[in-house]
Structure 1
Amino acid sequence: MDGGQCVKKAYESILHGDYELAEIWFEQAVAAQPVNPEYHHKCSITCLRNGKLDKALRYAEEALRLDPDNGEWRFHLNTVRAQMLLKESAAILAADLPDYGIAIARLREATELDPLLDEGYLMLAAAYGTLRMYEEATRSAKEALKLNPQHAVARRLFADYNRRRRQARERHKQTGQ
């Protein structure tokens, strides 16, 4: 079967909600035509959707290697990298002794790679809040709200950290420090 037929089968699988099978068909399209960057890109999107970040990264990098001037594919590669950083940061923050500095640095990188990553801004807000860095926590929660105004957690974090930020400012004025 040629790559085009495999892609058609992949889309049929997607229409039936079988993303795992779609991934297999996209991989077969890549195997049939390994120098076709579009097939690598489509496979990467499906792998990302399936939560297979390492595979998504490999296919995205190969698509861009084959067509280095494609801005859409560069954006997708950045999205995959941002998701990987997000996942890594979540693991760091879930550790018994989280390294907030490393987690914050990775989350900041993730939101630079993918400025639409509302979950990254939420995690940043929580990390900054834990460190009592309320200015940064408020700013991060506000960014998440800009991206998703209906996000209940973002609204709650923004209100909480904004209140704490104002309280800290007031204490600072009262003590003269």
Structure 2
Amino acid sequence: MDGEDEIKQAYASILDADFERAIDWFEQAVRVDPDNADYHYKLSVTYARSNRLDKAIKHARLACKLQADHDVYRLHADAVEARLLVRDAGTQWDDSRQLYRAVEQLKQAVCLDPLLTEAYLLLAIAYGEQGQYELALQAAKDAVKLEPQNAQANRLAGRYRAKLKRYLRS
């Protein structure tokens, strides 16, 4: 057995919008052929789409380990890692040390996935909380560049533009 029948069933489940069943089929394919990097990658993508990031990163890393020279696997693993960093950073707003750590995580997330708007938005807010209005404005503007119609990004850019002007006048 090579897992191809399970992969076909997983795709059929996706076409039926039954993502949990697709995950079950991809998991079966991985059990049939645990050294198949592509199966781990496909399972990881499906986990990520279901926002099950801890499981997604596990299989993304396995795919990369099994086939280290595959750029698509590496890009996917980086994107999942970035989402995990954003998720974790979003929980760290209690004190200045945690906020500093959150900023570092968000900067790392942006490096891993420069198209992750949510990372720029949270980075803008974190910089704003630190009173670093120029950096907050830049992060908000970066989010606007990615998604010009994003209302939150535009609001943040306007807010930090105004705060920076007030700060520079004083």
Q: What TM-score range do you get, normalising by the shorter chain?
A: over 0.9
Q: Which amino acid aligns with 1:106?
A: Q
1:60 maps to 60
Write the deviation string for residues 1-40 of structure 1: whole angstroms up to 9, x where unpaired. Answer: 6411111111111111111111111011111111111101
For the aligned residues, what is the CA RMSD?
A: 1.2
1:91 maps to 91
Write the deviation string for residues 49-96 of structure 1: whole angstroms up to 9, x where unpaired. Answer: 111111111111111111100011100010111111111011112x4x
2:100 maps to 101
Write the deviation string for residues 103-141 of structure 1: whole angstroms up to 9, x where unpaired. Answer: 100011111111011000000001111121100000000
For 1:92 and 1:170, locate their aligned partners in 2 and report how far apart those are by CA, in whole Å: 31
Q: 3-state DSSP class of the match of 1:149? A: coil
For 1:43 and 1:18, locate their aligned partners in 2 and report how far apart those are by CA, in whole Å: 14
Q: Which amino acid aligns with 1:107?
A: L
Q: Which amino acid aligns with 1:163?
A: A
Q: How does 1:1-177 map to 2 (within 5 A)?
A: 2-93=2-93, 95=94, 97=95, 99-171=98-170
For 2:2 and 2:104, locate their aligned partners in 1 and report how far apart those are by CA, in whole Å: 44
For 1:53 and 1:85, locate their aligned partners in 2 and report how far apart those are by CA, in whole Å: 10
Q: TM-score, normalised by structure 1?
A: 0.92
For 2:121 and 2:146, locate their aligned partners in 1 and report how far apart those are by CA, in whole Å: 11
Long gaps (5+) in structure 2: none
Which structure has the larger Rg?
1
Identity of aligned residues (%): 41
For 2:128 and 2:92, locate their aligned partners in 1 and report how far apart those are by CA, in whole Å: 16
Count of aligned pairs between the two proteins:
169
Long gaps (5+) in structure 1: 172-177
